[in-house]
Amino acid sequence: MTETPSTCPYCGIGCGVLIEHDGQRITGVRGDPDHPANAGRLCTKGATLHLTAADSVQRQTRLLAPMQRTRRGNAPHTVDWDSALDNAAERLAAIHQRDGADAIGVYVSGQLLTEDYYVFNKLVKGLLGTNHIDTNSRLCMSSAVAGYKATLGADAPPCSYEDFAHADTVFITGSNLAWAHPILMRRLEDARRARPQQKWIVADPRRTETAALADLHLALKPGSDVALYHGLLHLLLAQGLTDAAYIAAHTTGFEALAERVRAFPPAETARLTGLAEADLRTAARWFGESPATLSLYCQGLNQSASGTDKNAALINLHLATGQIGRPGAGPFSLTGQPNAMGGREVGGLANLLSAHRDLANPAHRAEVARLWGVPSVPTTPGRTAMEMFQAAADGAVKALWIVCTNPAQSLPDQAMVRRALERAEFVIVQEAFATTATCAYADLLLPATTWGEKNGTVTNSERRISRVRPAVPPAGQARHDWAIATDLARRLAARIAPERIALFPYTTPESIWNEHRDSTRGRDLDITGLSYARLEAQGPQQWPCPEGAAAGRSRLYADGVFPTADGRARFADVAPSPLAEAPDAEYPFSLLTGRLRDQWHGMSRTGLLGRLYGHEGLPAIDLAPADLARLGLQDGDLVRVASRRGAIVLPARASEGLPPGQAFLPMHWGQEVLSGQDAQGQPLTGVNALTTPAFCPTSKQPELKHAAVAIAPV
């Protein structure tokens, strides 16, 4: 048996794994003791990865050959790769010529490797001539990106996991770390054991497992995050706990914000957030008096129609107190997906360009055009995830190429998404698994490699780049995502722009990596010093790491200089916004969504293993015991949960962790176990039968975390 080092393909912690195999079959997995992210630990999901690669599972679930449907609704039939790719190129070229480049939308995934992402981004922006490429990272991290850029000037998390060990106060807000990022929770527990004075504040409407471990739980009203942060800043100012010298030397815009937070005294903040004044005062004191305060945050802030403002208002607290750029201090956004960071780095979103360049900046567009050897790159921002599917539902987008993601389950407002998939003239689904809900809509299915087979790199939450290595050959006829994109790009170029075939010379992931890292030269994320050879020799490295650097940088902004025009960070003077859909008389409950400990996203992989149902075996909606009693329900009784967009039926369950008026439903359950209907009786899947398509006007990230629902006994 051999062990091949790689990474876990689930969450953005990016744990290192050692894959045990005989060259043909994966036989085991263990945590890589040498990987800095996890030092050998794995959670239940990572520790069972090898079981998802078992032959019996693969035979039942993998897409093993290209398949084509002659008519929607018919069973697909197998075709050879040449026919499949020629068909795809022919149909995409025809739509390109008839309806223009903007009629094609490419929807990719934070689970792709950086090399895959790079080729797709270049294909869309450098060959098709549109910016209509977006990613499921839009659902995950785009508010964090926009929040960092609005305040610190660049999309760069300033902290590292090692900061956990140096923090005196840890403010966990909008994250159930214990379930969503279990290995970081273990690391935080280690930190508190070694540093007993470390205080944890958790802000979350629910009393989650994370909140239960906190020294102070702030059970704020859903959506009141900005009011909480403004109220804390009011108290920090009143108690003299802001850092006037830091504000004067390194920031701009504090006066306007200070004026705004005058309107958030403790009594008013308590009214807006539902919190006790005494708890607000304690939180402000712990935040401001602590030698080092670290904020950890995730989807509770990001998946909101005001997600950018929530991120920015939290970062305000760090700038106002100088809690940034020092060991144990800073605003640290935790990444949901394994390579949401890598996708941002290559610019694989509708509003970004390679290496953190901005689409709106003519100099940046010219740099990318020069790097790629094309006359120009398109100027108009592309459609983001929800906009792309809405445009397909409206008939403006004719072709959808969906890669390594399952929008028929994971996007909000499933009724609209299904209309989009049905109306689109040509749908390509490039996938490892034949079992996802989106596969049913595909005209063409392209089999892709997956964990244990793929080769490339990923970047985790702390800007650390790891090599992903193959242990076994691709299953069946599956090909690597970058190779499918390269092959199809060449065939497409031959039809629409033959001079651009040369844009896609790649024969290995390393050749793509080298082009990508060259594009980062002089940028904030400069990784010109990170060759595959160096990653091989020295292991995972953090960016930036330019040529000649002895190592990557673990902490940013230690010098107080920020990547803005004047070198100063900017306070964000933002006003609290209401929920996109506040509860009312017709839909009186606040439905909150979130993760389970042992499942991942739409369960296409974790849902294959019986042992991962041991923690939560079936879907249920959690309600406060008082609400259960008021509705005349016993634990386990079936209820109909309805929003303005659809309805589902499932058991209700009492939860002491929820206040009356709130309900909680995990995001994972799919069509096999949690089906629903739209208003016309058409079938829908899972929690997104209910969720709202409303999104943040800046980040375009949808409000997946909250919807107003009605709940009634069945």
Q: Which residues form the interface with ligand SF4 (CB under 6 A)? A: 8, 10-11, 13-15, 38, 42-43, 45-46, 181-183
When the beta carbons of 8 and 690 are compared against ligand SF4, the nearer one is: 8
When the beta carbons of 30 and 553 are compared against ligand SF4, the nearer one is: 30
To ligand SF4, the closest distance from the beta carbon of 450 in angstroms equals: 14
What are the backbone dihedrals phi and psi of residue 516, each rounded to the nearest 5 degrees, phi first? -65, -50
When the beta carbons of 433 and 589 are compared against ligand SF4, the nearer one is: 433
Nearest residue to 103 via CA among 442, 401, 343, 379: 401
To ligand SF4, the closest distance from the beta carbon of 11 in angstroms equals: 3
What gap in Å lies between CA 546 and CA 549, rounded to an integer?
Answer: 6
What gap in Å lies between CA 613 and CA 618, rounded to an integer?
Answer: 8
When the beta carbons of 389 and 451 are compared against ligand SF4, the nearer one is: 451
DSSP per-residue letters across 537-606: HH--EESP--TT-SS--SSS-TTS--SSTTS-EE---------SS---SSS-EEEEEE--SS--TT-TTG
To ligand SF4, the closest distance from the beta carbon of 42 in angstroms equals: 4
Whether the Cβ atoms of residue 137 and residue 155 lie closer than 8 Å to each other: no
To ligand SF4, the closest distance from the beta carbon of 600 in angstroms equals: 7
The 3-class SS string of 144-189 reads: HHHHHHHHCCCCCCCCCHHHHHHCCEEEEECCCHHHHCHHHHHHHH
To ligand SF4, the closest distance from the beta carbon of 31 in angstroms equals: 7
When the beta carbons of 38 and 306 are compared against ligand SF4, the nearer one is: 38
To ligand SF4, the closest distance from the beta carbon of 338 in angstroms equals: 7
What are the backbone dihedrals phi and psi of residue 67, each rounded to the nearest 5 degrees, phi first? -135, 150
* Alpha-carbon torsion, ordered 366, 370, 376, 377, to 10 deg: -80
When the beta carbons of 339 and 410 are compared against ligand SF4, the nearer one is: 339
To ligand SF4, the closest distance from the beta carbon of 161 in angstroms equals: 12
When the beta carbons of 110 and 182 are compared against ligand SF4, the nearer one is: 182
When the beta carbons of 15 and 320 are compared against ligand SF4, the nearer one is: 15
Q: Per 3-state DSSP, what percentage of the chain is helix, strand, and coil (rounded to 5)?
A: 35, 20, 45
When the beta carbons of 205 and 607 are compared against ligand SF4, the nearer one is: 607
What gap in Å lies between CA 700 and CA 571, rounded to an integer?
Answer: 21
Whether the Cβ atoms of residue 143 and residue 302 lie closer than 8 Å to each other: yes
64 is written with which tokens?
Answer: 């093993």
To ligand SF4, the closest distance from the beta carbon of 97 in angstroms equals: 44
Q: Which residues 6+ apart lie within 8 Å of 61 measured at CB?
A: 433, 434, 435, 604, 608
To ligand SF4, the closest distance from the beta carbon of 20 in angstroms equals: 16
Q: Collapse the DSSP code of 321 into the 3-class scheme (helix H, G, I; strand E, B; otherwise coil) and give the result.
A: helix
The residue of the chain with the least Cβ separation from ligand SF4 equals 46
Residue type, 450: T
When the beta carbons of 181 and 318 are compared against ligand SF4, the nearer one is: 181
E strand or H helix at 236: helix 225-238
Whether the Cβ atoms of residue 441 and residue 427 lie closer than 8 Å to each other: yes
To ligand SF4, the closest distance from the beta carbon of 93 in angstroms equals: 40
